[in-house]
Structure 1
């Protein structure tokens, strides 16, 4: 409660001082370009096509034979190349590690190379040493205003300010620090008045590839706005200032596009209600059951495991605990997403999390 009181007071001071940094929305259609992929083998030393059952992107319309590929650059350092969708440093990426060892990952940068978009990822084992691990990764860039009923928004925070921002209502997002390694992000109008709905994902960004993790401390509905507290940590579990990306989606997939995809779902273990939604079966249809050891969970998304698919996970709550995937998800029609959470030492520990899943259809 003491930490919550401090953050609340700091937020009030930020708002009073006008220190939240707004960014103006752009003006075309959501999502403009996007891609997702799963890096099953992070040790390949030449450009190698990634798992074709767990990747897709907006390039497939014009370039159906093209596939995302990747290459290892150094210990724990891996680049993913999404073909024919290059958009410079626009948009936001997310990355989720896939392991049972407590390795974690951040984004170093994303950039255009020729016609392609490249996402540069650095991973670490507990303690901060750079080391390889499988991971999932997405990148998406959006613009334009959406009609009411669904929403999508994101913010990139870097060098102490909002670098770029998108909000499907056309209203400017805002963000600002409330303490060392602690930030508040306000996404106006994207939620449901008085009800927490949708899903949030957060990824640390560290241009020097130092060990960083970010998570959702808490999030809430403020009228129809969504307010997210992002807390970030170093390898010792201490608060540290860092860049990050945060995105929100409600009644549409994490990539921002809709129809397709039409098969998607998300859940949060802290709240329930419309933070648990399934595009086929509706609110409350997704389930979470604990597995052994304590701190491992099976999240099931019924009837949306169709064709090429993707999953992202982020921890929610206090402390430097973090969560990600244990293995690539399995699916026939239902999608089973295996989630595991750790304390800072890499010991499996129960914790809350937010998960999101989408098909490309």
Structure 2
């Protein structure tokens, strides 16, 4: 039986817009959750600027009324506008392709246009040819220090092999070192619990300001005391060889992928082949989520009791080869459960089994 049957219905503008990407005064330093954030799903990557994006898969810190919008500006190139949350080029963004044929997406840049935040996304076919592709996207910015016992969130943006900006809810440093061609040692200090135990979830997204194809992933990930140590590997999609690249990376433990908590009170994450605190759900706790293979290079992740109101998901591959993973098709809802289909590929775009890190969140 096919995966679709088993899951039942799984079914120049740029210059003008992005020239306004200037920093705005930050939010109060005592913020306990994300200061500003937005997430969305682009189901039709060919619509014109500024078409409203699907209401059931978008949410943000803006007041009720406005909607996230977007539109195609070039082959495979799409702008997403989050209303009334603009904060320049600060913060962190992620994007994951929603495609079963090996297409993948990257960030180009983000910045504010008036009061709005614009995220610029480029997608490709296997091998690096631009291609219109559905995708999920989020942007978030945080400040301040969280008290103990409410989880942790940290993020970093690496540009030209150095740390361009970072945030850590513990107040401890975030460090990045380019340790070899295409390999980066990222350390999120003091975010783990308990000491020495792998916990939380990591997401990585390649960024390329000239919209040339890149892919980045988790090479490996471990715990050193309370620190999360993440090795990021970036690859040339033409050859599969490692190459230096800009990227974003984030860590969230017992909080949503966009950094907020309470709301949302329905979120979870699961990384394979790890277990324990890398499989976490709120409100169900450690080990609540499940996953399994459905065919060569394809998997499903079940997030029980988490599909509430607007929802979003991100996926990142893990491993030392150029394989990569996408959301195979839009996740399904069964009552309050969410079932997320994941597809992984070789550098050439052929199905290939691979470990991955997945995360899912509702808006409430």
**TM-score, with normalisation over the residues of structure 2?**
0.90
Name the CA distance, whole Å, in 2 between partners of 1:300 and 1:157: 32
Name the CA distance, whole Å, in 1 between partners of 2:318 and 2:273: 8
Name the CA distance, whole Å, in 2 between partners of 1:180 and 1:229: 12
1:155-201 CA-partner distances (Å, limit 9, x unpaired): 00002211100001111110010111110100000012010000000
1:86-113 CA-partner distances (Å, limit 9, x unpaired): 0000001000000111011100000000
Name the CA distance, whole Å, in 1 between partners of 2:48 and 2:143: 36
Report the secondary structure of 1:53's partner residue.
helix
1:220-246 CA-partner distances (Å, limit 9, x unpaired): 000000000000001221111111000
Indicate the residue corresponding to 1:259 in structure 2: 262
- Please report how far the alpha carbon of residue 45 of structure 1 lies from its aligned counterpart in structure 2 after TM superposition: 2.1
Structure 1: 5+ residue stretches without partners: 1-25
Indicate the residue corresponding to 2:348 in structure 1: 345
Indicate the residue corresponding to 2:132 in structure 1: 132
Indicate the residue corresponding to 1:36 in structure 2: 39
Name the CA distance, whole Å, in 2 between partners of 1:321 and 1:148: 37
Tell whether 2:340 aligns with 1:319: no
Name the CA distance, whole Å, in 1 between partners of 2:154 and 2:171: 10
1:305-348 CA-partner distances (Å, limit 9, x unpaired): 11100000000111000001011111130000000000000001
Name the CA distance, whole Å, in 2 between partners of 1:121 and 1:57: 18
Name the CA distance, whole Å, in 1 between partners of 2:202 and 2:347: 22
Tell whether 2:239 aligns with 1:234: no
Aligned ranges for residues 240-255 of structure 1 at < 5 Å? 240-255=243-258
- Please report how far the alpha carbon of residue 148 of structure 1 lies from its aligned counterpart in structure 2 after TM superposition: 1.4
Structure 2: 5+ residue stretches without partners: 1-27
Tell whether 2:64 aligns with 1:58: no
From 200, 217, 220, the equivalent of 1:218 is: 220
Indicate the residue corresponding to 2:19 in structure 1: none
CA RMSD for the aligned pairs? Answer: 0.9
Aligned ranges for residues 165-184 of structure 1 at < 5 Å? 165-184=166-185
Report the secondary structure of 1:148's partner residue.
coil
Structure 1 segments of 4+ aligned residues over 6 angstroms from their partners: none
Report the secondary structure of 1:64's partner residue.
coil
Name the CA distance, whole Å, in 2 between partners of 1:88 and 1:270: 37
Query: How many residue pairs were aligned?
Result: 332
Aligned ranges for residues 1-361 of structure 1 at < 5 Å? 27-29=29-31, 30-59=33-62, 63-149=63-149, 150-192=151-193, 193-235=195-237, 236-292=239-295, 294-331=296-333, 332-361=335-364
Name the CA distance, whole Å, in 2 between partners of 1:162 and 1:46: 32
